[in-house]
Structure 1
Amino acid sequence: MKNSRETKSTPDKADPVDPRILEKRKAIDAIDDQLLTLINERLMLVMDVGKIKARRGRQVLDSARESEIFGRLFKQNQGPLDEKVLTHLFTQIMAASRQLQRPQRVSYLGPEATFTHIAAISHFGLSVEYAPQPSIRDVFRDVEKGASHYGLVPVENSIEGAVNHTLDLFFESELKICAERYLHISHDLLSRSGGIRDIHTVYSHPQALAQCRIWLRQYLPEAALVECNSTAQAARMAAETEGAAAVAAREAAQMYHLEVIASRIEDVARNTTRFLVIGQDEVRATGRDKTSLMFVTSHVPGALYKVLKPMSDAGLNMVKLESRPTRHQNWSYFFFVDVEGHIEDRAVRETVEEMKHLCLYLKYLGSYPRAEEK
């Protein structure tokens, strides 16, 4: 009988790396060196632009310019670089560029790891200072008093509809809409253990619980569903409580040291939230823009039709119409409208001027690059 040690094949040293791989790695290293040099050259040019902007009193964030850059890059990209990865890479480069020109502070509806926080990072990158706020009103106030350069707030969801509090605050505020951002909302079930059998309590925001009702009823029918102020707070509660889980964004798992029990547990897959960047900037036209207005009509038959008719006559495409009570008079409403085009476009400018004469009140909320829903 042979010794078992004699039958094993254990090489004295690791197999040598294929020379072809070494050659490719050398080429990759050379490209990385070039990328590093080129990125630093880009940042030096950005610093020069920042000095010119400072002398002329121009804002650092140029949503129109950034929209143009992405549009050009998307057209030039022949792959295999994925468009989402391209967006992420250049978002970070642009964020670093803005920070070199002037450090920026962005206020958002917190706490950390909420979907608003995730949307803010996807828009502004990781290089800015983020300031979580307890309410949407606090985001507006923080930007109005100059503590933050910009704010990011939710305005509507494809399932739940408009975020009415955001709409109401535009009546009180002089801030402008500087940009918009769409974020696909996907919910995961998170816990400390990563196992589903020991879960007896599920924390989350009421909207998130409602959006995952079918899954929770099927897999956790006995669990108590407890509402929280945010999905991020739910993740924090799950991290602190034995036998608890949270319905939250996957990003919250890493932040609160949780394990993912199940992914994409929402009942409707196509769940998207639209966010608005608010600030003091006037954004120039890009050719692919959106203009937002709010107005009040007379309380007479046909008033709304008369106000909107100039848009139809001008051939403008209205992409959103929402109503909200004015709170100053019963059965009186604000109307919010989004139309394709920029206030600098002659057709849009003349239409808005005509609408002013047909309204009791009209407020221009801003023109900004039209974001693509992905």
Structure 2
Amino acid sequence: MDKKTLAELRIEIDALDKKIQALIGDRADLAGAVAQVKKIEDVNSIFYRPEREAQVLRTIIERNKSQLKGKDMAHIFREIMSACLALEQPLNIAYLGPEGTFTQEAALKHFGHAVCTLDCGSIDEIFLQVEKGNAHYGVVPIENSSNGVVGATIDMLYSQDLKICGEVEISIQHQLMSADQSVQIKTIYAHQQALDQCQRWLANHYPNAQLKAVSSNALAARIVKDEIGAGAIASEAALSLYELERVAKNIEDKVGNTTRFLILSKEFVKPSGVDKTSILVTTKHESGALFDLLEPFKKQNINMVQLARHPLPGVKWEYLFLIDIEGHQDDDKVKSALSAVAQRVQKVSILGSYPVAVL
């Protein structure tokens, strides 16, 4: 059989594109029909279902037999699902701004690009916007593979009543940028965590530069756009967004630097099949308290994926523990373990059960 010419292959691609486009249109029509059914059944219906989306994306990855990687295929469907969901209910997502932050990147990775984003000046404000109903969901950083947990997020999880309904991970690659790379950099702006994550590189390359911490890396990029002799540590997105020049690429000290983000909402999430549950625990101030806390999980053979100690807000030398375990709070063995924990500690708060990040 003769090989097809480039022109013939392009004709076939065009024909396939037409079919794909028609099928996406059919899916959008069905999404609209789903919205109508939900509105008839319940005017307060929840249109975004984290557990359902996680199941669909996992299935896409499992059945993928193409030359595309499974997660690349899932990313394509993530955007199709995002656009279709926007037909049902446009979502407002609060994130730590300004535009161009890693938190915004996490929001768009999790929800797709067919959402409206609301940039907030602090983690506290993200919680407030979701609590007030100005945003359907919020995205906040919870831990970094190099720096550990984010204390401001734990404080708000402790003091507020929002639930965790999802998680997303972002690979963190820091870029050094300035308005004019030919000018010597004397001051470097960045979020404190970014300065910490690039500490050795900065000491080797800019030992005499003044390091200034600001509320976000994107704000740092915005500042240096108009400041001669200043540099910013920020993301690739911020580099292009604020039209800056790259001075150095991927300056983080550790390869594989990753930040995990939580998705906040007011809603309970049903089991997806592969879930995680997060709790906050205040223990008794006595010998063996931590052992008593952990023993029920061992007894039920529940894997613990996170255990972080954090100062109890407003109480000197007292601590609470952020714990992530495998399983959903509706699972029998998780229920049993949490019930046993509640009898052994001062207070236990279930922050939410949610699907393990798929993408």
The answer, yes or no, to whether TM exceeds 0.5 is: yes
Q: Which residue of 1 aligns with 2:47?
A: 60
* Residue identity matched to 1:172: S
Q: Deviations over 1:244-273 (max 9, x none)?
A: 332110011111112323221111112111
Q: State the Cα distance separating 1:320 from its structure 2 match.
A: 1.0
Q: Which residue of 1 aligns with 2:161?
A: 174
Distance 1:225 1:356, change over 3 A: closer
Matching of residue 355 in structure 1 with residue 355 in structure 2: no
Matching of residue 283 in structure 1 with residue 269 in structure 2: yes
**Match for 2:188 among 191, 202, 206?**
202
Matching of residue 263 in structure 1 with residue 282 in structure 2: no
Distance 1:236 1:94, change over 3 A: same
Where do 1:218-237 residues align within 5 Å? 218-237=204-223
* Residue identity matched to 1:229: S
Q: State the Cα distance separating 1:107 from its structure 2 match.
A: 0.6
Q: Deviations over 1:218-250 (max 9, x none)?
A: 334444433322111111122212333321100
Moved more, 102-111 or 43-52: 43-52
Question: Helix, strand or coil for the counterpart of 1:240?
Answer: coil
**Match for 2:22 among 27, 31, 37?**
37
Question: Helix, strand or coil for the counterpart of 2:5?
Answer: helix
Matching of residue 81 in structure 1 with residue 65 in structure 2: no
Matching of residue 160 in structure 1 with residue 147 in structure 2: yes
Matching of residue 69 in structure 1 with residue 49 in structure 2: no
* Residue identity matched to 2:110: H
Q: State the Cα distance separating 1:114 from its structure 2 match.
A: 0.9
2-side partners of 1:329 and 1:254: how far apart? 44
Question: Helix, strand or coil for the counterpart of 1:267?
Answer: coil
Question: Helix, strand or coil for the counterpart of 1:113?
Answer: coil
Q: Quick check: 2:60–2:70 contact (8 Å CA) kept in 1?
A: no
Moved more, 135-144 or 349-358: 349-358
Q: Quick check: 1:295–1:362 contact (8 Å CA) kept in 2?
A: yes
Q: CA RMSD in A?
A: 2.0
Q: Deviations over 1:63-95 (max 9, x none)?
A: 111111111111122232134432332221121
Q: Quick check: 2:201–2:252 contact (8 Å CA) kept in 1?
A: yes
Matching of residue 106 in structure 1 with residue 93 in structure 2: yes
Moved more, 331-340 or 26-35: 331-340
Aligned residues: 355
Q: Give the gaps of 5 or more residues in structure 1.
A: 1-17
Q: Which residue of 2 aligns with 1:143?
A: 130
Q: State the Cα distance separating 1:188 from its structure 2 match.
A: 1.0
Matching of residue 245 in structure 1 with residue 234 in structure 2: no
Where do 1:5-44 residues align within 5 Å? 20-44=5-29
Matching of residue 306 in structure 1 with residue 292 in structure 2: yes
Q: State the Cα distance separating 1:287 from its structure 2 match.
A: 1.7
* Residue identity matched to 1:30: A
2-side partners of 1:221 and 1:326: how far apart? 37
Q: Which residue of 1 aligns with 2:79?
A: 92
Q: Quick check: 2:122–2:215 contact (8 Å CA) kept in 1?
A: no
Q: State the Cα distance separating 1:344 from its structure 2 match.
A: 1.4
2-side partners of 1:347 and 1:357: how far apart? 16
Q: Quick check: 1:250–1:260 contact (8 Å CA) kept in 2?
A: no
Q: Which residue of 1 aligns with 2:199?
A: 213
Q: Give the gaps of 5 or more residues in structure 2.
A: none
Question: Helix, strand or coil for the counterpart of 1:107?
Answer: strand
Q: State the Cα distance separating 1:62 from its structure 2 match.
A: 1.0
1-side partners of 2:335 and 2:103: how far apart? 32
Q: Quick check: 2:281–2:349 contact (8 Å CA) kept in 1?
A: yes
Moved more, 181-190 or 320-329: 320-329
Distance 1:217 1:329, change over 3 A: closer
Q: Deviations over 1:331-365 (max 9, x none)?
A: 33222211100011111112212222222211111
1-side partners of 2:112 and 2:203: how far apart? 37
Question: Helix, strand or coil for the counterpart of 1:106?
Answer: strand
Compare CA radii of gyration and give the structure with the larger one.
1
Moved more, 210-219 or 32-41: 210-219
Q: Quick check: 1:152–1:277 contact (8 Å CA) kept in 2?
A: yes
What's the TM-score, normalizing by structure 2?
A: 0.93
Distance 1:313 1:70, change over 3 A: same
Q: Quick check: 1:152–1:276 contact (8 Å CA) kept in 2?
A: yes
2-side partners of 1:347 and 1:19: how far apart? 59
Q: Quick check: 1:317–1:339 contact (8 Å CA) kept in 2?
A: yes
Q: State the Cα distance separating 1:327 from its structure 2 match.
A: 3.6
What's the TM-score, normalizing by structure 1?
A: 0.89
* Residue identity matched to 1:343: Q
Q: State the Cα distance separating 1:329 from its structure 2 match.
A: 4.2
Moved more, 114-123 or 203-212: 203-212
Question: Helix, strand or coil for the counterpart of 2:225?
Answer: helix
Q: State the Cα distance separating 1:60 from its structure 2 match.
A: 1.5
